[in-house]
């Protein structure tokens, strides 16, 4: 979620299905009109433009970004996920649309907030509080967070869901999928329906705050033996399906540790990597949203874990497949590692046949932390740069794109997010030692 200093003025969230459908329709019509104009302009200049040439323009990018940000909910959430997970594989203009969504969350205006709380808590709800800050602490794609103190002294962070978000998930994602297909950014051979179905399921779960409260308590029990972490506790008396009150925990945003001492950065990243491994191999339960805003560094040095809406169970077969990949990587056997990666579901034989040299390069790069004795320097920009270059080679060969298994998609989202955080903090961690314990 975005901090208060960058939230900007409130913007009403379109809540009715018809209202949201009309906005998508208006956006599509506006994009189509802009495309016709751009196509005519290019043809007048002697060019024969492709569909993506006329759809993916800076003006169109701004139009789509602004409208998805206004809609919030699943439309904005899906854009944010794609910008994190697939931004390097999409055309630059479309990647720009999606990347902008990470910074476009706006809070509800006060009247819409008041109506939402009246509906869930009843009129006169203010009597429950000695203090309720109507200016939100943070805002994101699905809801915004307010600070409050109850009359009996509980300091709370209260997450309030935007109106209509849960009801609009399926239609929003269908509309976003339609826009992606229209853009020509996705190859016709790519079957995105299984991913779309899984994304809908995941977002329905994230929009269920009663479920999130239960997952929060469940996760707290799993890390209770580790004093290095702390989680909030749900405040049951005011819990509703779309209002989640929890204990307020203080801390600085995790990414601000980039200016901290090297030892602090190394320790924090090592803790989070170890926790991720425990989630995968011990808990069978993983918080799969690696958004940096979901982690705080408390004044006492503990790591605050936030936002459990994306928590999902990991199938034992998935965990064992990753364990096999881990063992192969630690052994340094490239062929065994690639075979293990195929069993997990990263790619298939077609990709190895067509891009064998690139596959070898990528696995040499990704397995480097496992093969290195002693600390691996995540701050080395050459590794990320090389991975991006090799990844673009895959992206350009659109005939071999395939949808990953859903479990793999969410686990990789978490692992990739941890790598990005480690790179952001320029941490140095003995990855081989951490992972050897789980091989």
- Annotate 125-140 with three-state secondary structure: HHHHEEEECCCCCEEC
Last residue of a domain, one of 249, 281, 299: 249
Both tokens of residue 81? 């996920």
Residues 8 and 97 in one domain: yes
CA atoms within 13 A on the CB side of 71: 35
The residue assigned the tokens 């269920």 is 208
Beta strands in 10-133 (DSSP E): 129-132
Confirm whether 195 is domain-assigned.
no
- Please say whether the beta carbons of 10 and 109 come within 8 A: yes
- Residue 243's beta-bridge partner residues? 160, 240
> pLDDT value at position 75?
52
Tell me how far apart the alpha carbons of residues 422 and 378 are, in angstroms, rounded to a whole number. 6
Confirm whether 226 is domain-assigned.
yes
152 classed as catalytic: no
- Residue 234's beta-bridge partner residues? 246
With a threshold of 0.95, does the pTM exceed it? no
Catalytic choice (289, 348, 399, 430): 289
Domain count, the chain: 3
- Please say whether the beta carbons of 426 and 378 come within 8 A: yes
Residues 137 and 225 in one domain: yes
Residues 310 and 363 in one domain: yes
Residues 357 and 374 in one domain: yes
CATH of the domain at 231: 3.30.200.20
Helix boundaries (H) for 279-403: 316-331, 334-344, 349-366, 368-371, 381-396
Query: Which element (helix H / strand E) includes 65?
Result: helix 58-71
The pLDDT tens digits along the chain (439 residues) read 545 444 555 555 555 444 444 444 444 444 444 444 444 344 444 444 344 443 445 455 545 555 555 554 455 555 545 444 444 444 455 555 555 554 455 788 899 999 999 999 999 999 999 999 999 998 877 889 999 999 999 999 999 998 888 887 887 777 767 766 665 555 565 666 777 788 788 889 999 999 999 999 999 999 999 999 999 999 999 999 999 999 999 999 999 999 999 999 999 999 999 999 999 999 999 999 888 889 999 999 999 999 999 999 999 999 999 999 899 889 888 888 888 888 887 777 777 777 767 777 777 777 888 888 899 999 988 777 777 666 666 656 656 556 667 778 889 889 988 988 999 999 999 999 999 999 8
Residues 337 and 393 in one domain: yes
Confirm whether 193 is domain-assigned.
no
Confirm whether 122 is domain-assigned.
yes
Domain that holds residue 152: 109-161+208-249
Residues 401 and 428 in one domain: yes
Residues 216 and 98 in one domain: no
Residues 222 and 116 in one domain: yes
Confirm whether 389 is domain-assigned.
yes
Residues 121 and 154 in one domain: yes
Residues 301 and 215 in one domain: no
Residues 173 and 24 in one domain: yes
Residues 219 and 305 in one domain: no
Buried b (16+ CB within 10 A) or exposed e, 61-72: bebbbebbbbbb
> pLDDT value at position 434?
95
Last residue of a domain, one of 249, 281, 300: 249
């Amino acid at each position: 979620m975005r901090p208060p200093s960058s939230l900007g003025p409130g913007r009403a969230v379109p809540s009715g299905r018809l209202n949201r459908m009309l906005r998508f329709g208006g956006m599509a019509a506006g994009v189509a009109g802009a495309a016709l104009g751009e196509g005519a302009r290019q043809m007048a200049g002697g060019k024969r433009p492709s569909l993506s040439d006329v759809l993916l323009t800076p003006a169109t990018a701004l139009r789509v970004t602004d409208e998805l940000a206004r809609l919030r909910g699943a439309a904005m959430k899906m854009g944010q996920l794609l910008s994190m997970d697939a931004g390097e594989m999409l055309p630059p203009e479309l990647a720009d649309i999606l990347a902008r969504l990470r910074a476009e969350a706006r809070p509800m205006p006060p009247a819409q907030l008041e109506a939402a709380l009246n509906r869930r808590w009843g009129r006169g709800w203010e009597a429950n509080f000695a203090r309720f800050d109507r200016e939100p602490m943070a805002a994101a794609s699905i809801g915004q967070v307010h600070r409050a103190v109850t009359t009996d002294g509980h300091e709370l962070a209260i997450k309030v869901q935007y109106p209509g978000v849960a009801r609009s998930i399926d239609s929003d994602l269908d509309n976003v999928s339609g826009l992606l297909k229209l853009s020509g950014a996705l190859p016709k051979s790519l079957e995105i329906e299984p991913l779309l179905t899984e994304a809908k399921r995941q977002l329905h779960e994230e929009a269920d705050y009663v479920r999130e409260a239960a997952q929060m308590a469940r996760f707290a029990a799993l890390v209770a033996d580790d004093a290095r972490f702390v989680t909030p506790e749900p405040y049951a008396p005011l819990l509703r399906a779309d209002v989640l009150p929890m204990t307020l925990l203080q801390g600085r945003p995790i990414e601000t540790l980039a200016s901290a001492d090297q030892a602090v950065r190394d320790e924090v990243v090592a803790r989070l990597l170890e926790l991720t491994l425990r989630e995968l191999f011990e808990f069978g339960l993983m918080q799969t949203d690696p958004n940096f805003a979901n982690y705080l560094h408390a004044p006492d040095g503990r790591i605050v874990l936030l936002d459990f809406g994306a928590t999902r169970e990991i199938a034992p077969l998935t965990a064992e497949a990753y364990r096999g990949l881990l063992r192969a990587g630690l052994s340094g056997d490239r062929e065994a590692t690639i075979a293990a990666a195929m069993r997990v579901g990263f790619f298939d034989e077609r990709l190895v046949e067509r891009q064998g040299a690139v596959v070898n390069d990528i696995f040499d790069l990704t397995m480097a932390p496992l093969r290195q004795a002693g600390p691996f320097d995540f701050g080395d920009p050459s590794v990320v740069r090389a991975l991006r270059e090799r990844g673009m080679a895959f992206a350009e060969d659109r005939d071999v794109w395939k949808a990953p298994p859903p479990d793999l998609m969410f686990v990789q989202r978490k692992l990739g997010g941890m790598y990005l955080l480690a790179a952001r903090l320029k941490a140095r961690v003995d990855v081989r030692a951490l992972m050897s314990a789980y091989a």
